[in-house]
Structure 1
């Protein structure tokens, strides 16, 4: 039986995923700062826009103005009416002006789910990006409470029939990796005195996938994944 899939907006990554992501599920992109998680997430978001979908992007760490400047330089059109950008960063100068977005989206994962549901009352979104989920995990006082809340969040998103891409800067993401439907990992290696970027898929429920570590680059036009090039580790 053929599985309907949606594009990540990165052809080489789609090849690794054997056609893309299964829609209506929750996925995690993990990697250290500077590995390109936000760039990958923006490709995913813009692929939805190009397909005529409504996309919701919640930024919890990088202020929206910075994000707009950086992504516009790469050729992404963040002004498209189908693209909604929510700035929920707690930056000092904005906190006073737009504190409601921070309180609604970034206070904790339960409030994030409720805020997204309210957004759906105004418009239906088929793709959602939360960048990064790490910020919400830091608000949790107890690991057990966070696990319950994260499971509830995943179930809520599946009920909304939307495809969610979460990013995480944590090397170990434990409960997130266990509960999401797929995990994409970005790494930087030193090979022969030079830095080499590698992307691999460690989990993709419901589909086969290429589990090799493939080379990728961050260019002036975004992320390029070379699905036919393996990273040669020392």
Structure 2
């Protein structure tokens, strides 16, 4: 028996086409790549798409002021300000709160407690947590660390909120626990090609989805990110 699942759009032109129409609702997806590759913008596209469809969505920052991410996105889509004004898109700056509460960096558990409060109180359908690398685990035991991270991911899925975890990744061939625990991994690349910096996107993993595996050209346009169904190594 063939079972079809509803999909929700990523909000990025060209991206849904290479992941069988979009994302599976309620799952956790990892967005990773080097600095400047477009991770936060990808997350903002995802949230704006939800707000445009009358969903209530949230951007949770663990380090920088979330208003900085909004200012960057306004260059491409000024409507983001309207969605913030109508409280369809909520901003949360958890960094100062979490660092004040404990004497060390935030843990998976402390962040999950805050996320659960936000999701349940505000009835959030889409969530971006930026950046995941701000969270550390105090124990050195890798098995215990993996167990805590698994509880974190499972806890997010239990909320029924479709979530992007944004993570810095400078070693593109080095995979960590979160790569194996989430439902999907999207890698953004940013590299020098023929004396020009080029961006590309790659779907490393996407459960229950027929997806492309190669690199696809991704560009910033006046409206934000666009994914082209061709390799960055192909000519125009």
Rounded to whole Å, the distance in 1 between the matches of 2:101 and 2:15 is 33
User: What residue number does 2:135 align with?
Assistant: 136
Rounded to whole Å, the distance in 2 between the matches of 1:224 and 1:51 is 20
Rounded to whole Å, the distance in 2 between the matches of 1:40 and 1:188 is 14
Q: Structure 1-normalised TM-score?
A: 0.87
Cα deviations across residues 158-211 of structure 1 (Å, max 9, x unaligned)? 111111111110233410000000010011232222222111101000110111
The Cα of 1:64 is off from its aligned counterpart by: 2.0
The Cα of 1:146 is off from its aligned counterpart by: 2.8
- Partner secondary structure for residue 135 of structure 2: helix
Matched-pair contact (CA < 8 Å) for 1:184–1:201: yes
Q: Aligned match of 1:85 in 91, 97, 119?
A: 91
Rounded to whole Å, the distance in 2 between the matches of 1:196 and 1:49 is 30
Compared with structure 1, are the counterparts of its residues 51 and 109 closer, same or farther at alpha carbon in structure 2 (3 Å cutoff)?
same
Q: Structure 2-normalised TM-score?
A: 0.87
Rounded to whole Å, the distance in 1 between the matches of 2:6 and 2:66 is 32
- Partner secondary structure for residue 12 of structure 1: coil
Matched-pair contact (CA < 8 Å) for 2:29–2:185: yes
Matched-pair contact (CA < 8 Å) for 2:98–2:111: no
Rounded to whole Å, the distance in 2 between the matches of 1:43 and 1:49 is 10
Q: Which segments of 5 or more consecutive residues in structure 1 lack a partner in the other structure?
A: 90-98
Q: Aligned match of 2:39 in 37, 40, 56?
A: 37
User: What residue number does 2:231 align with?
Assistant: 230
After superposition, the CA RMSD in angstroms is 2.0
Q: Aligned match of 1:175 in 151, 174, 177?
A: 177
User: What residue number does 1:206 align with?
Assistant: 208
The Cα of 1:102 is off from its aligned counterpart by: 4.5
Matches within 5 A, 1:43-122: 43-76=45-78, 77-78=80-81, 79=84, 80-89=86-95, 99-100=96-97, 102-103=99-100, 107-122=106-121
The answer to whether residue 188 in structure 2 is matched with residue 186 in structure 1 is: yes
Rounded to whole Å, the distance in 2 between the matches of 1:204 and 1:121 is 27
Name segments (4+ residues, structure 1) moved above 3 Å: 101-106
The Cα of 1:62 is off from its aligned counterpart by: 2.7
Compared with structure 1, are the counterparts of its residues 48 and 140 closer, same or farther at alpha carbon in structure 2 (3 Å cutoff)?
farther
Rounded to whole Å, the distance in 1 between the matches of 2:162 and 2:138 is 24
- Partner secondary structure for residue 208 of structure 2: coil
Matched-pair contact (CA < 8 Å) for 1:104–1:111: no
Matched-pair contact (CA < 8 Å) for 2:40–2:166: yes
